[in-house]
Structure 1
Amino acid sequence: MSDSSTASDLVVVGAGIVGLAHAVEAVRRGMSVTVVERDERAVGASVRNFGHACITAQTGEALSFAEQARETWLRLGGEAGFDVAECGTVVAARSAEEIAALEELSEDRGPDQVRLLAPAEATAAAPVSAEGLHGAALLPRDLRVDQQRAAAAIAEWLAAQPGVRMLWSTPVLGVEEGLVRTGRGSLRGRRVVLCVGHDLDRILPETADAAGMRRCVLQMLQVRAPELRLDPALLTGTSMLRYPALARTEGARALRERWSEQRPELLEASVNHMLTRLPGGDLVVGDTHTYSRTPEPWSSEELDRLLLAETRDLLGRDDLTVVRRWQGVYASAEGEFLRTRISPGVTAVAVTSGIGMTTAFGLAPSVLDSLA
């Protein structure tokens, strides 16, 4: 595959959702693009997630990227042929602290973005148990993306565009100005972006070290609940402790303080208990978080039982069947995004906060602007 004569305008290393977002943006700008990926298809964070574009719960730069990405998701869903639903998110509140956090967010963002729901409205919007329910909030701008199809569909769409090459099963060994060295030969590119997520330490270990990059490993479940229909994403009090727009509220701070005494197991496992629906109707249930440069390879049955117990309690259902179990993984570092100039025309890019699906299509234009 050695190709030292023809240079693409952009070489993208990595065909996960972050890499694909850069390729999509480059095509929009009329650039020639080569995407090189070590696997024969995307099998990492881009397919192991909730399929949830959590827009409203972001802040700052991430919120701006998420809003921009929303429009691209809606456009690409139609052009590339995968499901994108404007289903919104229901955030269930089962304590006084949680409803206070939602009220603070609604006051900050306004009723068009955060609509407060009484308990009866909440149970009508999502199949949650009415027992102990204080209310909820609807975040209507959030999206649901078919995560098991989206990356493959976008890659297929890209491959059909003029000036685009998709190179699969091709490991990248190193990068330098204007050149990407692979196991199949060298590629030339006027600009290069490395979008390899947590595997940055395999190619540029010093860059990963400087960023303090680790792997965040998630435990997740696919659960079957007979005759249950969940259209919006469903978040809980644990989500209020993780998503920044909610975590900064007084209600969330009070909730964390109470749980440190009453529910320490949720905090110790860094649980974000949330549910989304797959196209066939099963639920994606997650997740727990552990952080390490080199994670242990073992899953914890105790953590899976914790997630399942929380789900039974949230839905008021005992007839849940686990269909699949898996570990998600993403890059974790200080801040939400890593953008590091390696050499002239070469930049390493990663979403380091687990919000790649939410923000990648807004992040990519800013990166290409900086390269230009």
Structure 2
Amino acid sequence: MESNEYGSGHSESGHSDLLIVGAGIVGLAHAVAAAERGLRVTVLERDERAVGASIRNFGHICLTAQSGRALDYGLAGRQRWIDLAAKAGFWLRECGTVVVARAADEFAVLEEFAERRGGDQVRLLDRAEVAGRLPLLDPATVGGAWLPLDLRVDPRQAVPALAAWLAAEGVRFHWGAQVQQVADGEVISTAGRFTADRVIIAVGHDVDRLAPSAAAEVELRRCLLQMLEVCPDTPVPVDPAVLSGLSMLRYSGLADCTAATAVRQRFQEQRPDLLDLAMNLMYTQRPDGNLVIGDSHAYARTHLPFDEEGTAELIIAEARRLLGTDRLTVRRRWRGVYASSDHTDFLITDLDPATRVVSVTSGIGMTTAFGLAADALTT
């Protein structure tokens, strides 16, 4: 029998009601949904622990700024996050999000968004109210909005805690198990041969490695981003997640507002360098007080292995402006990678009657995974 910090696995092969390939947040969400239905569940993960996009993110359950199916999935999964934090014992904050407006056109977007969504989802803030929620603030701030439904977790803690809890609940995990072939309910891996009534392939941006036809169907690419963890010289508590005007151009609920056109035009005229990087200027605070800041975005099937230091420098410079302080010490840097498609936010496709590929192709896996998994297992 194999064991590790997440719980026990089994070296023997066997039959399951559901076998999941991939132990990132999307795979774990499927395991949760299946286990709650009383199914026998096995999870195969090629690494010894989750190391991909599921732990490299802001830990921001950013549901309110979404639209369409993403919003539906986010709202459906919100209470699941809260319940699982209590069961699995990981840190979670029901703290909402503050969207900071630093120009009149940005505040116009928030006014339109609030009118569309109503006070349960969006509450406008004047400058003093923003300052009351954010002790570090750009003096240019004119107002903002609070999105009270959004949540925060520490992904570096939440994902392994969730896997450990699932293992204790009877889900079988095989860590360090490279899957080589999946077809018609049979899975061949370095941990042995497995069979299942149903197989879910949830391998994020590596769909093309195991299911190239599914990746080709949506012209899947990898989105490469740069992120940093910084420490202000004077530590202060920042409870909510914080978005900026650039976020209004990225999240569909905000970007779909008519007023967002003026914001984009201003950035095109004044700061095209930020748009060239598809920057989403935002930050969240980790439980230790450090701030996770970012992030840039670049798209390709295969990326060069070199990170441009100028990109990180630009992120830091813009974070300093947003925070209204020059005193930030960089503690960590990393690159994130997630699946991306111009055709859909969610890849859900069947390879055969027993095998389904599920991937979030829009960088919002933490926000949507639980709602997505419930849907993918039902339909």
- Alignment match, 1:344: 353
- Alignment match, 2:297: 289
Among 360, 366, 372, the alignment partner of 2:375 is 366
The one-letter code sitting in structure 2 at the alignment partner of 1:236 is: S
Question: What TM-score do the two structures reach when normalised by structure 1?
Answer: 0.97
Residues 230-278 of structure 1 show CA distances to partners (whole Å, capped at 9, x for unaligned) of 1100000000000001001122111101211111011000000000011
- Alignment match, 2:118: 110
Among 209, 212, 225, the alignment partner of 1:205 is 212
- Alignment match, 2:184: 177
Among 319, 324, 337, the alignment partner of 2:332 is 324
The one-letter code sitting in structure 2 at the alignment partner of 1:347 is: R
Deviates more, 1:283-292 or 1:129-138: 129-138
- Alignment match, 2:238: 230
Question: What TM-score do the two structures reach when normalised by structure 2?
Answer: 0.95
- Alignment match, 1:72: 80
Aligned length in residues: 367
Among 10, 17, 21, the alignment partner of 1:9 is 17
Among 83, 95, 100, the alignment partner of 1:87 is 95
Question: What is the rounded CA distance, in whole Å, between the counterparts of 1:266 and 1:276 in structure 2?
Answer: 20
The one-letter code sitting in structure 1 at the alignment partner of 2:43 is: V
Question: What is the rounded CA distance, in whole Å, between the counterparts of 1:70 and 1:222 in structure 2?
Answer: 26
Shift of 1:127: 2.5
Is 1:303 matched up with 2:314?
no
Is 1:156 matched up with 2:164?
yes
Residues 179-207 of structure 1 show CA distances to partners (whole Å, capped at 9, x for unaligned) of 11112321111000000011111111222
The one-letter code sitting in structure 1 at the alignment partner of 2:88 is: A
Question: What is the rounded CA distance, in whole Å, between the counterparts of 2:185 and 2:125 in structure 1?
Answer: 54
Among 94, 97, 104, the alignment partner of 2:105 is 97
- Alignment match, 1:58: 66
Could you tell me which runs of 5 or more consecutive residues in structure 1 were left unpaired when the two chains were aligned: none
The one-letter code sitting in structure 1 at the alignment partner of 2:55 is: V
- Alignment match, 2:41: 33
Shift of 1:129: 2.6
- Alignment match, 1:273: 281
Shift of 1:128: 3.8
- Alignment match, 1:315: 323
Is 1:194 matched up with 2:195?
no
Native 8 Å contact 1:114 1:137 kept in 2: yes
- Alignment match, 1:254: 262
Question: What is the rounded CA distance, in whole Å, between the counterparts of 1:113 and 1:367 in structure 2?
Answer: 26
Question: What is the rounded CA distance, in whole Å, between the counterparts of 1:39 and 1:97 in structure 2?
Answer: 46
Question: What is the rounded CA distance, in whole Å, between the counterparts of 1:251 and 1:230 in structure 2?
Answer: 28
Native 8 Å contact 1:50 1:276 kept in 2: yes
Shift of 1:303: 0.8
Native 8 Å contact 1:119 1:130 kept in 2: no
Native 8 Å contact 2:136 2:325 kept in 1: no
Question: What is the rounded CA distance, in whole Å, between the counterparts of 2:112 and 2:20 in structure 1?
Answer: 41
Question: What is the rounded CA distance, in whole Å, between the counterparts of 1:361 and 1:76 in structure 2?
Answer: 11
SS in 1 for 2:29: helix
Deviates more, 1:252-261 or 1:324-333: 252-261
Residues 49-108 of structure 1 show CA distances to partners (whole Å, capped at 9, x for unaligned) of 000000110111111110111111000001001011101000000111100000000000
Going from structure 1 to structure 2, the CA distance change for 1:130 and 1:317 (only over 3 Å counts) comes to closer
The one-letter code sitting in structure 1 at the alignment partner of 2:346 is: F
Deviates more, 1:68-77 or 1:197-206: 197-206
Native 8 Å contact 1:99 1:251 kept in 2: no
Native 8 Å contact 1:175 1:181 kept in 2: yes
Shift of 1:228: 2.1
Native 8 Å contact 2:174 2:191 kept in 1: no
Stretches (4+) displaced over 2 A? 127-130
